[in-house]
């Protein structure tokens, strides 16, 4: 069986994954933390925590809250900054089989471009995922992702700054996802990732205060899966570049739904907090399905629910 998939077909460097199962940014650290729990080299790709030009402390605590079938987070892009990532993490990744994609964020278009520029040519980095969808920071993030014009400007700036494959991660909080998807594809993105978290909040009725220190946060986990699936379906119908599905994926069945909706690959996020092995379980479940159904190439399943 062949589970491989090309997620940057128009980029001269390409980004071939040996299977479609990736980890979602912010839920798997730098890949180094969980490498003792299962063989992470078996995954299709790892996407690391969102990284900015300077290190960030993130938002005030509490920063996470459990919700029915999901969680709220307002981490606020706490990260080590691009220089430490290049110095301490990339050399480790350079010895790995599994490709690592660096998720980046910024407060200005220029900041995104500067981070992308620094990553170009660094050993151990196979691609960039541009987060224009973080709901938890005051400047930048989702602010860029809700409008087709600003989404395209960030994409164009990053595209100019690097020859690495560029994935652009979109927000479900945009009024017209298809329009943003088309604008980002037109600006030179190699692939789209959908979705980041949905805006949400929780209130502690005893304190009569919001639960999260940041008041609002991003909702993730199984609760958002039907929304994510619908958005992937919409986006895949709007663009020709590969779409990577993300949002509430917990099982192989969830993954196959995304692939049949038009996703070329998927990312597993929140599910890994309750069982870090979920990405591998998902991969093994896809293999079992393909074997049972007599499917040779995973790519034959992409978009089959669309016809
Ligand atoms: C604790 C936490 C931190 C996250 N940090 C980032 C991040 O730094 N950059 C990013 O693009 N997405 C981030 N996300 C969003 C996830 O990558 C993913 O898009 C979202 O959680 C939906 O997928 P899931 O339901 O499988 O978790 C974060 C999510 C969580 C729960």
Residue found under tokens 């706490």? 78
Residue 29, pLDDT score: 96
Mean pLDDT of the chain: 96
How many angstroms separate the Cα of 261 from the Cα of each of 235, 244, 257? 10, 11, 6
Residue 87, pLDDT score: 98
> Is residue 220 lining ligand 1, measured as CB closer than 6 Å?
yes
Q: Does the CA dihedral 99-103-109-115 come out positive or negative?
A: negative
| Cα-only R_g, the chain | 18
What mean pLDDT do residues 2-6 have? Answer: 98
Residue 234, pLDDT score: 97
What mean pLDDT do residues 222-226 have? Answer: 98
Three-class secondary structure of residue 65 per DSSP: strand
H-only helix segments in 26-161: 82-84, 90-94, 109-119, 142-145, 148-161
Ligand 1 atom closest to the Cα of residue 25 is 17
Ligand 1 atom closest to the Cα of residue 70 is 25
Residue 285, pLDDT score: 98
Residue 138 predicted with pLDDT over 80? no
What mean pLDDT do residues 48-61 have? Answer: 96
> Is residue 191 lining ligand 1, measured as CB closer than 6 Å?
no
What mean pLDDT do residues 96-117 have? Answer: 97
Cα–ligand 1 centroid distance for 269 (angstroms): 6
Three-class secondary structure of residue 173 per DSSP: coil
pLDDT band at 35; cut points 50, 70, 90: confident
What mean pLDDT do residues 269-283 have? Answer: 97
Q: Does the CA dihedral 145-148-153-156 come out positive or negative?
A: positive
């Amino acid at each position: 069986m062949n589970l491989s998939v090309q997620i940057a077909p128009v980029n001269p460097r390409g980004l071939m994954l040996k299977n479609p199962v990736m980890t979602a940014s912010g839920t798997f650290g730098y890949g180094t933390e969980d490498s003792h729990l299962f063989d992470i080299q078996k995954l299709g790709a790892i996407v690391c925590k969102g990284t900015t030009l300077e290190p960030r402390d993130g938002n005030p605590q509490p920063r996470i809250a459990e919700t029915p079938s999901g969680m709220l987070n307002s981490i606020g892009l706490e990260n080590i900054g691009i220089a430490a990532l290049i110095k301490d993490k990339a050399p480790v990744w350079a010895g790995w089989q599994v490709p690592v994609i660096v998720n980046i964020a910024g407060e200005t278009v220029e900041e995104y471009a500067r981070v992308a520029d620094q990553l170009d040519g660094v050993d151990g980095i196979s691609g960039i995922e541009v987060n224009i969808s973080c709901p938890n920071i005051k400047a930048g993030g989702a602010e860029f992702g809700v409008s087709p014009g600003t989404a395209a400007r960030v994409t164009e700036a990053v595209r100019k700054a690097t020859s690495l494959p560029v994935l652009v991660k979109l927000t479900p909080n945009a009024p017209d996802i298809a329009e943003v998807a088309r604008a980002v594809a037109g600006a030179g993105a190699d692939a789209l990732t959908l979705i980041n978290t949905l805006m949400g909040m929780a209130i502690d009725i005893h304190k009569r205060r919001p639960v999260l220190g940041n008041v609002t946060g991003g909702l993730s986990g199984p609760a958002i899966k039907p929304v994510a699936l619908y958005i992937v379906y919409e986006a895949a119908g709007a663009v020709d570049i590969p779409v990577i599905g993300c949002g509430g994926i917990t099982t192989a069945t969830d993954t196959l739904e995304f692939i049949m909706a038009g996703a070329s690959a998927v990312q597993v996020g929140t599910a890994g907090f309750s069982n870090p092995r979920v990405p591998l379980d998902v991969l093994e479940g896809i293999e079992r399905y393909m074997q049972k159904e007599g499917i040779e190439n995973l790519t034959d399943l992409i978009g089959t629910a669309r016809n």
